[in-house]
């Protein structure tokens, strides 16, 4: 079974269980699959969904992944820059959000 289908099949189970970590991991997996297929808009959506769930201690905010997907997808540059400016600088790494993407 392809990874994407496996993850999509598991999502309702994770949602019913209220397992936020599993949901975060599942959406990250969908983002990775989209990235491997160069479906950048789908990647951006998947990482945005993953970021909606709490990260474990030491986990990343996924800003870099979302910025990468938006930059290489169909997001207009002005919209990408505005989105980057809205992000919490503590979530972006030592060089700031615009350099993390």
User: For each successive 10 residues of the chain (101 residues), what is the average pLDDT?
Assistant: 87 96 95 94 95 79 87 94 86 63 51
Task: Please give the residue range of the domain that contains residue 75.
Answer: 3-100
Torsion-angle region of 39 (φ positive above 0: left; ψ -120 to 50: alpha; else: beta): beta
pTM for the whole thing? 0.83
CA 63 to chain centre: 7
The closest of 91, 86, 83, 85 to 55, measured between CA atoms, is 91
Burial 4-36 (b: 16+ CB within 10 A, else e): beebeeeeeebeeeeeeebbbbbbbbbbbbbbe
pLDDT of residue 95: 58
pLDDT value of position 52? 92
Total domains, the chain: 1
């Amino acid at each position: 079974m392809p990874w994407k289908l496996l993850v999509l099949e598991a999502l309702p189970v994770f949602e019913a269980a209220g397992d936020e970590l599993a949901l975060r991991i599942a959406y990250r997996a969908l983002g990775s699959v989209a990235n491997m297929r160069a479906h950048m808009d789908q990647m951006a959506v998947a990482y945005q969904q993953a970021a909606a769930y709490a990260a474990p201690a030491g986990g990343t905010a996924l800003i870099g992944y979302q910025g990468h997907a938006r930059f290489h997808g169909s997001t207009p540059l002005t919209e990408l820059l505005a989105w980057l400016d809205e992000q919490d600088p503590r979530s972006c790494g030592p060089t700031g959000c615009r350099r993390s993407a």
